[in-house]
Structure 1
Amino acid sequence: MMRKVWALLLLAPLAAAAQQTPFWPDKDEVLKRFGSSRALEQNSQNKIYKTGVNAHWSADGRTFWYCNEGKGGAKEYILADAASGTKRPAFDAQQLAGALGKATGDTYDGRRLVIPAMTFSADGKEVRFETDGKYWRCNLHDYTLQRADSLPKPPPPRRNYRPGRWESFETRRRSPDNQWVALIDKGNIYLRHTGRGDTLQYTTDGTPAKPYGSLAWSPDSKYLVCYRVTPVADSSVYYILTSMGGTRGQLRSQLYKQPGDPFTTYEMHLLTVGKPGAVKVNTEIIDFFDAPRLHWRKDARYFMYEKVDRGHQRFRIIEVDAQTAATRTVVDERSNTFIQEARIFTKYLPDTDEILWTSEKDGWRHLYLVDALTGRVKNPVTAGEWVVRDIDSVDVQKREVWFRANGMHAGEDPYHIHHYRIGFNGKKLVQLTPEKGHHFVTYSPDKKYYIDTYSQIGVPHVTELRSTATGRKIMELERADVTEYFATGIAPVESFTAKGRDGKTDIWGIVCRPSNFDTSKKYPIIENIYAGPHDAFVPKSFTGNFRDMQYLAELGFIVVQIDGMGTANRSKAFHDVCWKNIADAGFPDRILWMKALAKKYPYVDTGRVGLYGTSAGGQNALGGLLFHPEFYKAAVSACGCHDNRIDKQWWNEQWMGYPVGPHYDAQSNITHAHKLQGKLLLIVGEADTNVPPESTYRVVDALIRARKDFDFLAVPGMGHSDGGPYGRMKRYQFFVKHLLGVEAPLGGQ
């Protein structure tokens, strides 16, 4: 009923903006709202049931059991038969509880049996299970029990593991045929025969300061790839723990690579077993990241490796001829902006001399089939104005790719993930998750069936069992029960979209409202911001957690979260906005989105706008005040990476480029701190090992030198966070003061 009332309220025509009166509560009302927010937070916990299925499959891959948890910890065990499309209670819980009580002398509640593991006989007449650390066999006809020593092992879960791009060499010193062991002594390489025991020196120019290392054998044990290594020791960053006891603070340090810092370099060489000496491979020194993983052809003469150039604008797959040390480039991708190295997928197919490879070269992230012998793209595997999000698995025998994607479904939130499979030739695309929503899929051990759980931000979860061969729905397993949750009065979260700065691109976000808001009032708006370019951040699944955003909303705010341009999971052009431009943070899109929200809902007051964020979001929160003071009036910035030269190398060079140039300074919050106009609360944990605390302290220094008024909270002993419970209470107090005009006690108490 509550959801229907809210739907009518949101869809009904609202009064003109001129008829709205600003919401300016007095102190008593604010204190009351703090109390009701805490009560609603407590009352809404654990009020949503059946949000998914954790399936425990039988060895034959036909049946599985799962447990539904209900009100008060009640448990319901279900046995499903995938082949027949039926499900039923796994056992009579009351009879089983009685049998356990009789066998042990203890009391068991059939509604709350805790059974972490069980298996059923092929005919379904017996169940073996574990409870309280003991194993039992139960005849399901008469519920007689017998003790058991153990349970049959369940089939292992499917894992779609693929190795990383960079090799781990410490275990690669023994040759595949076990005939040779590679040794390094005083920087030089020796090979010792495991049978004869004789040792032969292969290099002579290595030194402890510039040794040979990072070894990798060919599959036939004829060649050993090694590197002349020029080590670089990273510099340290420091912090002081002030409250560790005693009378002195304790200094801590950690190695920390920042933008512009040098890398250890690797010069590739080849050794041929039985031929002392090392031959330098005709290729560039690897001066970015570690030594690469090698991918050998079937003939074991040629191998390929991947190279990402510093600056993230070039990615190559390079082939090496182990006989001649000659090289050729198989794949050479270049970008005028950036290539997101962490999202490059490659799968080498030595039996057919092919490579599966993802690229955004056509403006969207897609999968390509490459001829490894010629470097020619044989065909796109996927294509269109949508994004391949991840590769679940590759079936080499059937020449199929199983993958996740977003944006393929017209009329739907383009961030919703759906699951598919397709042939290597780009044909026979099978849609595995046709229903509208954000999907999560798990497969049976033999991959004959899969369980699909989907939802939307405002639509609760549905879980279905489907056939992998066709995608056909076999049966609905569960549908989330949200009755108790919405009976608390909590407001549904709304998904909202508006056009971005180009007037064409849809920008997506969510809206949280107070549960008791009055449409005749105008409420301040607060944005929860995180504009890190590495991903998108607005939730897409139904969430029943009483989140920080809802707590703020209950105090008398409209709280929103938005993915503006410059974030990931859309087109390359959408993402490229961040290139050497992190300070943009999608603000032009965010501001237009909030103005569109206010146009639709006149109770949204864009004259009183705040924002808060942590880490990159902390950088963004302060950036809103510095670069858009005409719109944002108050900000809480926690643990911000306020200057991209101070933060970690791998993240910042990916988006801001290399070498470090004037654009780093031009976008620094420290550089622009003197422009501060709005109200600001800075929070930092003194033990932050993610973003050095001096990033925030230098903002503080710049603000003091500019004689700016601001609030500052340093939390002793705290790491990288939003300030923890105390910091969040300070945030609530801060926004109540500066956007509602009320001086409230900390936490409203």
Structure 2
Amino acid sequence: MIKFFTCSLFCFFVLTGVCQKANYKQAEKFMKMDTRALVGSTSVAPNYLKKSDKFWYSYRKADGVRYFFVDPKAKSQRELFDRDFMAAEISKVTHKPVNKQELPISGITFKDDERTMKFMVDTFRFEYNINTGRLVKIDSARKKPTPPAPRKKTGLFGTYSPDSSYIVYAKSHNLYMLRVKDSVETQLTTDGEIKYSYASSGTDTSTARRDARVTWFENSERFYVRRTDRRKIKSLYLVNNLSSRPTLSEYEYVMAGDENVQQEELYLFDTLNKKQIKVPVEKWKDQTIRLFTPGKKVERLYFLRKKRTCDEIDFCRVNPETGEVKVLFSEIDKPYFNNEFFNLSLLNDGEDIIWWSERTGHGHFYHYDGEGNLKNTISSGAWTAGKLIKIDTVGRTIYFEGYGQVKGECPYFARINKARIDGNGQVEMLTPEQATHEAVFSGSGRYFVDNYSRVDLEPKSVLRDNKGKKILDLASPDLAALYATGWRMPEPFTLKAADGVTDLYGYMWKPADFDSTKTYPIISYVYPGPQTEAIPLKFSIKAAYNTALAQVGFVVVTFGHRGGSPLRDKWYHTFGHGNLRDYPLADDKCGIEQLAERYPFIDKSKVGIFGHSGGGFMSTAAICTYPDFYTAAVSSAGNHDNNIYNQWWGETHHGVNEVKSFEKKTVKDSVTGKDSTITEEKVKFTSRIPTNIELAKNLKGYLMLVTGDSDNNVHPANTIRMADALLRAGKNFDLVILPGQRHGFQGMPQEFYQRKMWFHFGKYLLGDFSSDKFREIDAFMRL
């Protein structure tokens, strides 16, 4: 009787979904799906003709590649040529079979008459008149190509002045100048050395000539050089375990809170008197600088300097003759300046300055004059102006992407906008569709190709004028073959953050054989930002790992968290500052709980989470912070200890403490010879970021850690330290090392990782342990 009850109970568990069979075959099908063959092209890449708005483009569909010619002014589009005719004519010349669906043409260009197309097939050159349909073989490249003329010995390495009078180059890390007319060489510097070099390669030990970091002014009388001091920067090390004899590779790596970071200097050199001027760019300890020169001809020099705390910036102009520095304007932006959309554009030889700022809580463009005076606001409103696409200096207009402009919509989709440089903050939206728009303008700026889509909206390509009016529908993909595979678009949803107020946006992927009467474990794909989020913004068939993973038998979701994308307002994307480990965790848990309440097919007792890099960091933090909520996690290439990750990430997004101290010092007066006491200010920076290692003791669920052993971005030590902490805490976990893989997994190791992830979630969320018997990673395909 007891045996009968036990057997019945087991069957009941199986039938009610406690143990479900993972559909690895279906996942494999979607992972290996040939999207190029199924879908072909999903966007139009226009090739504009010289000095013209006309363009041609190629587009792949189920019947092969077709070529189109577009005349915006005539509002016309037609195929460039008849493919049957072209294949036959090419075959006559090459004496080879030609597939009309895959014409072997390359190097397409147009003559200035805008009707004669030139192209190559193998070594043959052709001209084709698109109006008359006449094809002519103009020559053959079978002749031995004429070798390029050898460069002058003196110009083998180095930078010529605009008037070709001088060449400047580096030898043994110092600068040398050669006067061309008489080959007289002058050594300009003597203080160059390895990692403090004037050469482009600061670690080259060769004494031969090398290119230098030189930029000439147009008058050829002077040039400037930027030099970095990296002598005190410490190194990280990786072992190439796949070489015939394992070798050690060393690379410089600055971590958050490091005492020694890169120091940057700027020098001016005068060619007439060989004078060197060190430009006084220094203001803050460990600052960074960026150089700017307006126009094609270098006549003026500007630089930005940013404080190490990432919250103060000066924009400065350099006098090329004296090296004098003038601060044109400054800005403070706490807790940090947004690096993703920051823009500085110099127009009209520096007389107009376009500056991007989040000073109002939303990113917008501002117009300054050449002396640093604010003239007007270019864009404004409770939305974000982002990527600058084009500047029309003649029409005094800028074109840029805007996010969150339509109230009530998901704020992540980019619309194309234009605004007057001399305007009052009013903008004109050119693309009304709720989607991610990508614009490619013609040289004149009168027209642009607009490719737009969402992950739940088929791609569309249209031609518009610069007022947003649609001129033509261009080629679009045929997704019939894709839908026939069982593929389905993800579904959008909106949630509330843990504060109960902030809207969060995301998508849900379901299996192709989804049955709403069944229940499914839920898996959250995460990336916490703050520079981006995991939400796909454009049409995507595989959506990273999400589409294939759902086929195993899961509902897979991804959504934003406070502290994520800068596409939203400043408060949203800086939410996690000072709390780099924990800030997104409550929102992820709260969002999954809402989805489980909303959809009865979600089993809230079986919750998984996974992510890569910052997502690997977050997924481990989540399962260790809420050990009774998350059942299983897969964390790949995670920066589990941000104290050994790069300086930019940790100090920008968590913060760095500036510690000042004052020290009395005795100095001798150079005139009187008397001693005097001065107080000297000392500045140092400290950083301490909470780690996942500190949470290891909390783990209850099933965690798989993955890293490539050659990751020079997030060093494998991050994963190894996490594994060590779990070992010392007596926890059971899985550790996967991918040989030879850097930060982004590729090829067979990437597929191995993906399948291991399926198996991990299959075991601990579906109760299917069949993968433990697989002796080959894809053994399920032969069952």
Same fold, judged at TM 0.5 (above)? yes
Aligned match for 1:668, one of 649, 670, 691:
691
Change (3 A) 1:730 1:280: closer
TM-score, normalised with respect to structure 2? 0.80
User: Is residue 619 of structure 2 the alignment partner of residue 614 of structure 1?
Assistant: no
3-state SS of paired residue (2:508): strand
The equivalent of 1:422 in structure 2 is: 419
The equivalent of 1:739 in structure 2 is: 765
Q: Deviations over 1:439-482 (max 9, x none)?
A: 122223433322111112211011111122x2211121233322
Q: CA deviation at 1:524?
A: 0.8
Change (3 A) 1:129 1:583: same
3-state SS of paired residue (1:415): coil
Amino acid at match of 1:344: F
User: Is residue 502 of structure 2 the alignment partner of residue 512 of structure 1?
Assistant: no
Change (3 A) 1:415 1:23: farther
Change (3 A) 1:663 1:580: farther
The 8 Å contact of residues 43 and 488 in structure 1, kept in 2 or not, is answered as no
Q: CA deviation at 1:180?
A: 6.3
* Separation in structure 2 between the aligned mates of residue 121 and residue 259 of structure 1, nearest angstrom: 55
3-state SS of paired residue (2:765): helix
The 8 Å contact of residues 459 and 477 in structure 2, kept in 1 or not, is answered as yes
Q: Deviations over 1:77-129 (max 9, x none)?
A: 33333222233333333344344445554444444434445567899987655
Amino acid at match of 2:492: S
Q: CA deviation at 1:606?
A: 2.3
**Farther off after superposition, 54-63 or 645-654:** 54-63
The equivalent of 2:70 in structure 1 is: 80
User: Is residue 58 of structure 2 the alignment partner of residue 67 of structure 1?
Assistant: yes
* Separation in structure 2 between the aligned mates of residue 120 and residue 222 of structure 1, nearest angstrom: 40
User: Is residue 26 of structure 2 the alignment partner of residue 36 of structure 1?
Assistant: yes
Give the CA RMSD over aligned residues: 3.9
User: Is residue 45 of structure 2 the alignment partner of residue 54 of structure 1?
Assistant: yes
3-state SS of paired residue (2:474): strand
Amino acid at match of 1:355: I
Aligned match for 2:84, one of 70, 76, 94:
94
The 8 Å contact of residues 643 and 665 in structure 1, kept in 2 or not, is answered as no
Map 1:646-657 to 2 at 5 A. 646-657=644-655
Q: Deviations over 1:220-262 (max 9, x none)?
A: 56666668975524322123334444xx643333222222331
The 8 Å contact of residues 608 and 630 in structure 2, kept in 1 or not, is answered as yes
Map 1:223-302 to 2 at 5 A. 231-245=230-244, 249-261=246-258, 262-266=260-264, 284=282, 288=286, 292-293=290-291, 295=293
Aligned length: 703
Map 1:187-206 to 2 at 5 A. 206=191
Aligned match for 2:359, one of 361, 374, 377:
361
Change (3 A) 1:636 1:663: farther
The equivalent of 1:3 in structure 2 is: none
User: Is residue 23 of structure 2 the alignment partner of residue 24 of structure 1?
Assistant: no
* Separation in structure 1 between the aligned mates of residue 28 and residue 298 of structure 2, nearest angstrom: 66
**Farther off after superposition, 222-231 or 620-629:** 222-231
The equivalent of 1:379 in structure 2 is: 376
Change (3 A) 1:687 1:316: same
* Separation in structure 1 between the aligned mates of residue 631 and residue 181 of structure 2, nearest angstrom: 76
The equivalent of 2:406 in structure 1 is: 409
Amino acid at match of 1:53: V
Q: CA deviation at 1:603?
A: 1.0
Map 1:447-466 to 2 at 5 A. 447-466=445-464
* Separation in structure 2 between the aligned mates of residue 271 and residue 121 of structure 1, nearest angstrom: 44
The equivalent of 1:690 in structure 2 is: 713
Change (3 A) 1:708 1:329: same
Change (3 A) 1:98 1:541: same
Change (3 A) 1:22 1:463: farther
* Separation in structure 2 between the aligned mates of residue 174 and residue 137 of structure 1, nearest angstrom: 38
User: Is residue 169 of structure 2 the alignment partner of residue 146 of structure 1?
Assistant: no
The 8 Å contact of residues 181 and 193 in structure 1, kept in 2 or not, is answered as yes
The equivalent of 2:498 in structure 1 is: 501
The equivalent of 1:313 in structure 2 is: 311
Change (3 A) 1:718 1:317: same
Percentage of identical aligned residues: 27
Q: CA deviation at 1:641?
A: 0.8
Q: Deviations over 1:398-451 (max 9, x none)?
A: 222121221113343211111122111235733332222111222234333221
**Farther off after superposition, 707-716 or 440-449:** 440-449
3-state SS of paired residue (1:733): helix
**Farther off after superposition, 488-497 or 327-336:** 327-336
**Farther off after superposition, 109-118 or 340-349:** 109-118
Change (3 A) 1:699 1:395: same
Q: Deviations over 1:338-365 (max 9, x none)?
A: 1134542111235463321111111111
**Farther off after superposition, 727-736 or 350-359:** 350-359
3-state SS of paired residue (2:44): coil
* Separation in structure 1 between the aligned mates of residue 111 and residue 270 of structure 2, nearest angstrom: 57
* Separation in structure 2 between the aligned mates of residue 634 and residue 644 of structure 1, nearest angstrom: 23
The 8 Å contact of residues 44 and 485 in structure 1, kept in 2 or not, is answered as no
**Farther off after superposition, 567-576 or 77-86:** 77-86
The 8 Å contact of residues 21 and 520 in structure 1, kept in 2 or not, is answered as no
Change (3 A) 1:622 1:42: closer
Q: CA deviation at 1:594?
A: 2.1
Map 1:526-545 to 2 at 5 A. 526-545=523-542
Q: CA deviation at 1:134?
A: 2.8
Q: CA deviation at 1:736?
A: 0.7
Q: CA deviation at 1:575?
A: 0.9
Q: Deviations over 1:629-673 (max 9, x none)?
A: 242221111111111111122222221222499996552011222
Q: CA deviation at 1:583?
A: 0.9
* Separation in structure 1 between the aligned mates of residue 85 and residue 293 of structure 2, nearest angstrom: 58
The one of the two structures with greater contact order (alpha-carbon pairs below 8 A, sep at least 6) is: 1
Q: Deviations over 1:273-313 (max 9, x none)?
A: 76787666555257546664254899999853210111211
* Separation in structure 2 between the aligned mates of residue 44 and residue 191 of structure 1, nearest angstrom: 56
Map 1:546-557 to 2 at 5 A. 547-557=544-554
User: Is residue 390 of structure 2 the alignment partner of residue 393 of structure 1?
Assistant: yes
Amino acid at match of 1:236: S
Change (3 A) 1:452 1:208: closer
Q: Deviations over 1:539-590 (max 9, x none)?
A: 1222223752111111111101122111221111001112122212522222
